Amino acid sequence: MYSEKKNILQLCALLKAHGIRELVLCPGSRNAPIVHSLVNDPDYTCYSVTDERSAGYFAIGRILETHKPVAVCCTSGSAVLNLHPAVSEAYYRKLPLIVVTADRPQAWIGQMDGQTLPQPHVYNSLVKMSVNLPEVTTATDEWYCNRLINEALLESNHHGYGPVQINIPISEPLFRFTEESLPKARVIRRFDSVTDEVKQMISTAHRLMIIRGQEELDFAGCQLPMDVPGHAVVLSEQIGNYTVNDKKYISNFDAVIYAYPKEQRVELAPDVLITYGGHVVSKRLKELIRKNPPAQHIHVSRDGKVTDTYACQTIALEMDVQEFAEIIKGLHGINDAYTRLWRETSDLLLSKVYHFPYSEISAIGNVINHLPASAVLHLGNSSAVRYAQIFRIPENQCVFCNRGTSGIEGSVSTMVGYAAMSDKMNVFLIGDLSFFYDMNGLWSHYLKPNMRIMMLNNGGGEIFQSLPGLTMGGTTHAFVTASHHTSARGWAEQMSFEYYEVNDEKELDIATQKLLSVRTDRPIFVEVFTEKDSDVQILKEYYHTLKITTNNIDIK
């Protein structure tokens, strides 16, 4: 019988799945649930060594003889420190020593409780990775625990061998052994080439999806060519910077997911997922895949790190994306019904004509729909980048947004830094809170006439109105949305911008023409004032019009 502790169950299952069969076990109470679970599993060969200093070196001896990784497990407190000499030896000799340290609950560290000291990262720079597992109480905890163990075990042989630490806090009661078998734990593997197994996954997929995350056009190397497998649907938002007229690429996928009947959205989910690049804005896409996980998720990157955005990664493929694309482009799938389902739904939505009433959304659409071909588009975080997804970016348009951490700080400064040495028109769409937070970005010697800013001023962070489950009264609303009555006019004019104020649709049309005019000797600032709450309601009405039925789509 195994321990009832789910973090221990994940550890036992994944040690086995990653081919670690030999374990050196030290005595103690806190690690007793781990020891009991391991020694009663016939798949493991266990050695008992009392002194942790000797145990660590004993494990090194087994690594040298077997040429395979070996785990050593100890109890909490100073026992962990006694493994330090062996850890340092393994680090400098580049040996895959897996150090499993049992720990007390975090709440008791530093409270004069027995055998407690800060154990996570205690080996500092002498391990390739140190992970601290959660005590599992939710499904998210278990996913996180699984991911951390996978990452640590993968790192032990990534770009050379070396020791890793897996720290496991364990609360009392310690000695409940109720599980008859180990769970079927998700195993993440790392490859550095497209193996026959990977090719088989792709070519036999019934629903193959490729997601292109954020990429910058100026940095070549992560741009999947047009001739991907014919049975693949490829999703790319504006910040993915793949805006060529390629029918395989779908940019309005957020609307497709919303429009498709909720009870049938599982049909949109992939059975094999390939991802590359950076962040994706769409929460709906993340939710769709997390609720309907594919059998295989391959993330392709040069560093080969685990990037488990959709909570279902199974393979970290460490290679250049273009090289990967060249290899898979000739693979042929079973049929293209899945691709046609996405494509025809996307086309149906694009064929719908919808006139947005005066709002932040209509202002963003007005600019995007009239962007000069050579202009560079910059998007602020929060509402600006989300509303921009509704509209089709002109072909070959370059789009930037600070989605590394998705914060509102620094958006203005980033645009100014880019545009300072650019000979193109730089158009910037930004919300009021984002602008005011970084308004010192305009306090610069490098402002140029090619800078065009449209600031969307609704008196606060009104997009927070759409947070699910949050009903805001007057006081809560003021604090959550940071309500204000501030205008940027004074600051814009002080910094020599040509300033235009917009309060209705007619003024918006005129100001947009000014904003995008080619001939100007000054930078331009347009401030669009809209009503609180209006965009949230407009967005709801817009999505309501998108609702379709499967009768509209014929994929037979």
- The model's pLDDT over 235-250, given as tens digits with 9 standing for 90+, comes to 988 888 876 656 668 8
CA atoms within 13 A on the CB side of 343: 16
Helix, strand, coil % in the chain, rounded to nearest 5: 40, 15, 45
- Given a cut of 50, is residue 355 above it in pLDDT? yes
Dihedral sign (CA 471, 472, 476, 482): positive
* 247 class by beta-carbon count within 10 Å (0-12 exposed, 13-18 middle, 19+ buried): exposed
Half-sphere exposure of 413 (CA within 13 A, CB side): 11
pLDDT tens profile 505-514: 999 999 999 9
Looking at residue 291, what is its pLDDT?
A: 95
Q: What is the DSSP letter of 172?
A: S
Spatial CB neighbours of 100, under 8 Å, sequence gap ≥ 6: 11, 31, 34, 71, 72, 73, 74, 166, 168
Residue 483 has pLDDT above 70, yes or no: no
Q: What is the pLDDT of residue 464?
A: 47
State the average pLDDT for the chain. 88
- What pLDDT was estimated at residue 219? 43
Residues 164/29, Cβ–Cβ less than 8 Å:
no
Under a CB-based contact definition with an 8 Å cutoff, are residues 127 and 91 in contact? Answer: yes
pLDDT digits (tens, 9 = 90+) for 267-303: 999 999 999 988 998 999 999 999 999 999 999 999 9
In this predicted structure, what is the pLDDT of residue 552? 53
pLDDT tens-digit profile of 34-73?
999 999 999 999 999 999 999 999 999 999 999 999 999 9
Task: Select the more confidently predicted residue: 518 or 27.
Answer: 27
Q: Using 50, 70 and 90 to split pLDDT, how confident is the model at 208?
A: very high
Tell me the CA distances in angstroms from 513 to 59, 367, 452, one per residue in order: 72, 9, 11
Please state, for a pLDDT cut of 90, what percent of the chain lies above it: 61
Q: How far apart are the first and last CA of the chain?
A: 50
478-504 average pLDDT score: 82
Cα distance between residue 505 and residue 534, in whole Å:
14
Distance between CA atoms of residues 290 and 304, nearest Å: 22
Site of tokens 């800013």 = 453
List pLDDT tens digits, range 521-544.
899 999 999 987 777 788 788 877
**HEC readout, 201-226:** HHHCCCCEEEEECCCCCCCCCCCCCC
CA distance 69 to 153: 9
